[in-house]
Structures are given as C-alpha cells and as structure tokens.
Amino acid sequence: MAKRDYYEVLGVAKDAADPEIKKAYRRLAMKHHPDRNEGDTDAEARFKEAKEAYDVLSDAEKRAAYDRFGHDGIRGMGAGGPGGFSGGDGFSDIFGDVFGDIFGGGGRRGRSNVFRGADLRYELPLDLERAVTGDSVTIEIPTQVSCNKCDGSGAAKGSKPTTCTTCDGVGQVRMQQGFFSIQQGCPKCKGTGTMITDPCTECHGEGRTSKRKKLSVKVPPGVDNGDRIRLTGEGEAGQNGGPPGDLYVEIRVNPHKIFERDGADLSCEVPVSMATATLGGEVELPTLNGQVSLKVPAGTQSGRVFRLRAKGVKTVRDHRQGDLFARVVIETPVNLTTEQQDLLRKFEASVQSGGNKHNPRAGGWLDSVKRFFERVNQ
C-alpha cells in the first residue's frame, strides 16, 4: 500500500513552519493515541502514520531529502516505519514540552535556585496617645538571617555545592504517566539543582540561621488599627543569594479608658451632677491635648452630645483634624444620708406639685403610654 504524503497526513502546507507542524502532530496524536482508543486498530494506524510523518518533517535534514526525492529520499535515514516510534522527538517529548511549560518550565531549560526571603508580619500594640502623636518604637523579632560562617551557601568552608545527580542540575525531573510526560521539582535537591555533600556546621546546610533582631520603627502621627508600616529588606533572608523579604508592622491600638476612636473623631462620656445639669454650669473635659472647660446649659438632659471641633485626631493619610463628641451622662447621687434623702423627697414633692412643666419628657412619655393602651383596648 502506497504511503500518503506526509504533509497531507498532518494536514499542513509544504511551507509550514516547525511550530505549525508540531501543533498539527500534537492534535492528531491526542485524537488517535491507542490509550484513548483502546481496541480501535484504525486509530492506532492513523497514530503511527502521524508519528512517522512528524519524525520526518520535524527533522531538517530528513525534511529536505523528502521534499526533493519523496519517500525514496529518506530510506535508510531512520525514518519511522510502521512501528512509528523511532527517531526524532518522541510523543512524550512533544507533550513534555506542553506540560513542562504548565508545571514549571521544560526539562531542557535550567531553573534558578535563587529564592527571595519570606515577608514577615509583626503586630505592634500602641496606646491611643502614642498612635495619635507618633513615636519611635524598638521591636524585637525572630527571623532567618544569612549564615555568616558559610556566607549563605550552606556548604562548609572550603567546599561548595555539587550538581544534583538526579536531575543533572536542572532542578526538575520528568514523570511519565501514561502518554503524558509531566515536569516536576526534583525531590532530591528540592528544585535547586545542587546538592550539599559537606554541610556547614553552623546552619546544617540551610544557608540561614535563626536570630532575634532588634529594629527601630518610626510610627507616624495619626495611625489607626490595621495600618501597616513596611520595612523593606527586614524580612527573612533569601536563599542562595536571593534578596531578603520585607517586614510589615501592623498597628493595633489598645482600648482607652476615656476615649473611643472612629477614624479622625473621638468620643467620650461626661458625668454631670444632677444639680449642674438642672441649674447649668461648667465641667472640666479631658482631651488628648489637655483639659478644656465645657459649658453645660441649664436643663441639660442625659444623652445630649456636645461637639468640640478640632479636638479629635489628625489622620495619617489626609491630615484631616477630627472632632471630639462629648455625651452627657447625668449621675444619680448614691450613699445619701438620712437628711439628704429627706431633702430630696421634699424636692421631688415640690416638683411633682407643678405638674409636667418641670418634667416635660416624662409628661410626654406618660401621654404616649396612655394613648397606646387606649388603642390596644379598642
């Protein structure tokens, strides 16, 4: 039976470039491979035919002879016959290139064994005052640093890492699974391509050692919960000469006894005596910049909020100055003497005799309760 034209077998033009030929063969091989068409002799024959065509057209010398003399020109040059598995790039090489690119690069290319160090995170607790005004804080962190004894190589002094015998220094090995060939990191050298036969006694071949490092962190004024300060190059040391990682200092502001913070604004509660709230007066109010005097008008009710402008926090990003919101809480007297209790009862009786004009909120509330029950009983 006469052989078909190889270009016709692959479905490509006679001037097709190598990538086009490889792509065509890959498509046909996936379609007709025996593992995917078990028991189909026609598919097996087409697979072998495509393999034979690819063996010739992927080889520059064989292709030139075939283009000039046809099938007669490649006799004796090792072209694949009916078996179709000799000479040229194998089926597994074709798919090894494809899956090697997916899983970390082809086996024909080396792999860098230089790795950047890991980034570190440190939580820095701060009092509100220090977060608002800014400060310089010294912290101590555990980290991995380059070994001084072996200069980070991991090998003992006078020796050096040798090429891995498993992957020949590539850092990857090829694993055959059915008709797929997949690249993966070398299990012996862990993808570095080198082996340390005489490890450093200080770092035991790791190239890095553990150390507690002290650093000075400059905290800018106005930082808040969750803000991060980046210290470039203060993370873990890289491997095999790789650059170090970074250190991220994350701010955590401690709860304050007086103030609560919401962005640039502060809020607090101000206890006010019953007499001051009734008659009016002044109370001393703390702020982060010292005390101020708050004027309380006569008849101030509990829960009223006073706004003190520009007494909050200046934010770290837009430098906006926030406000302070002071919420009045009227304090009920405790531990009264008998005399004080009698005076308070007389005062209450005097107030009650005046009707609702002294307690407008209580009067309005009682009227609302009365109307509610009237609706319920209808």
Q: pLDDT-derived band of residue 187, with 50, 70 and 90 as boundaries?
A: confident
Query: Which pLDDT score, from 0 to 100, does residue 271 have?
Result: 95
Query: Which pLDDT score, from 0 to 100, does residue 287 have?
Result: 93
Determine the Cα–Cα distance for residues 30 and 92; give it in Å rounded to an integer.
11
Query: Which pLDDT score, from 0 to 100, does residue 113 have?
Result: 60
Residue 331 pLDDT exceeds 90: yes
Query: Which pLDDT score, from 0 to 100, does residue 372 have?
Result: 65
Delineate the domains of the chain, giving CATH numbers in brackets. 6-89 (1.10.287.110), 120-253 (2.10.230.10), 260-331 (2.60.260.20), 338-376 (no CATH)
- Gyration radius of the chain over CA positions: 42
List the single range of 36-45, 105-114, 192-201, 315-324 with lowest mean pLDDT.
105-114
Residue-wise pLDDT for 38-65, tens only, equals 778 888 888 889 999 898 898 888 888 8
**Side-chain half-sphere exposure of 41, counting CA atoms within 13 A:** 1
Residue 104 pLDDT exceeds 50: no
Determine the Cα–Cα distance for residues 208 and 152; give it in Å rounded to an integer.
6
Residue-wise pLDDT for 293-314, tens only, equals 999 999 999 999 999 999 999 9
Query: Which pLDDT score, from 0 to 100, does residue 193 have?
Result: 78
Residue 246 CB coordination number (10 Å) = 18
Query: Which pLDDT score, from 0 to 100, does residue 181 have?
Result: 64
Angle, CA of 293, 296 and 302, to the nearest 5° = 125
Q: Over the chain, what is the mean pLDDT?
A: 82
Residue-wise pLDDT for 241-292, tens only, equals 678 899 999 999 999 999 999 999 999 999 999 999 999 999 999 999 899 9
If we measure between CA atoms, which residue out of 151, 166, 170 comes closest to residue 113? 170
Residue identified by tokens 């860098």 is: 112
Query: Which pLDDT score, from 0 to 100, does residue 280 have?
Result: 95
What are the residues facing 176 on neighbouring strands? 181
Q: pLDDT-derived band of residue 147, with 50, 70 and 90 as boundaries?
A: confident
AA letter at 1: M
Q: pLDDT-derived band of residue 83, with 50, 70 and 90 as boundaries?
A: very low
Determine the Cα–Cα distance for residues 266 and 219; give it in Å rounded to an integer.
20
Query: Which pLDDT score, from 0 to 100, does residue 364 have?
Result: 61
Model pTM above 0.75: no
More confident call, 224 vs 202: 224
Dihedral in degrees, nearest 10, Cα atoms 25, 28, 34, 35: 90
If we measure between CA atoms, which residue out of 185, 132, 193 comes closest to residue 315? 132
Residue-wise pLDDT for 208-235, tens only, equals 888 888 999 999 999 999 999 999 999 8
